[in-house]
Structure 1
């Protein structure tokens, strides 16, 4: 009986400590630094999404998470000095992986603008993979995009060799984009 009381006291003390730590933690959300810049952990929300980000001296740095209106994780990635880095994962409403982007870098490839035929160099590139609901790769290749856009936008451009697979994982075709 004494052992149960002792365990209950330890649990209660732990809970009080946890609740106090949680209060301390929540007071440090959405802080501004001495120069008015975003600093530390930030939560931004709208009716349809909640984003969790981290800032260092007003620049996006570290883990990025976005949740849908049901609280389900839909995007997980990382910022390095304000730029996407590492691997970014995009999930469907049931939690399955839809696409991933990795190997983010400054782009040096020149492409033709479809509208006017002029050559230009998009600002960024990454490697893209999209997936079937069963987890098999649907397609993969390099995406290019310009400042102010992102690889998942309609304005990103496929470049180089792209591979396309059926839902069993069998390669069905390759296509070369220039």
Structure 2
């Protein structure tokens, strides 16, 4: 139990620390950040439940006002910004990433983690993010989806990195990759 709490807190902190890397803000108000890599890693390393909890802890602290989102944003104002779907989607994406990674246990670790990161950390996160952007920006879901295409190359790189980092961690300390436990 104590180990699980520590891991959840550490990955919530990892998501926050990745927000310190300066964002590149696109014209429609959504920044390209490294935080989605932390969300992917939470799922690939911790698995569905613990990964989702790590991202949920991060989100809760952010909504309480801590400036943990990239660019030092936090508080309830996040719920009125174009990034609302992405922020609220972090726990869902981390859970989905972990769920997929766990279900692909017959595949090599790196491949399972990469696939989980693509399907959960990109696919699920984009569904949430596009929906939020559509609502806040007053655009159709299709129009919002077109805006998000600028993120795809970078997010694919992050998904490959998540797979590689999970594999490296698994090789170094197999018991620390809880998605394989």
The TM-score with structure 2 as length reference comes to 0.18
**Larger strand proportion of the pair:** 1
Higher relative contact order (CA 8 A, sep 6+): 2
**Larger helix proportion of the pair:** 2
- Which protein shows a greater Rg? 1
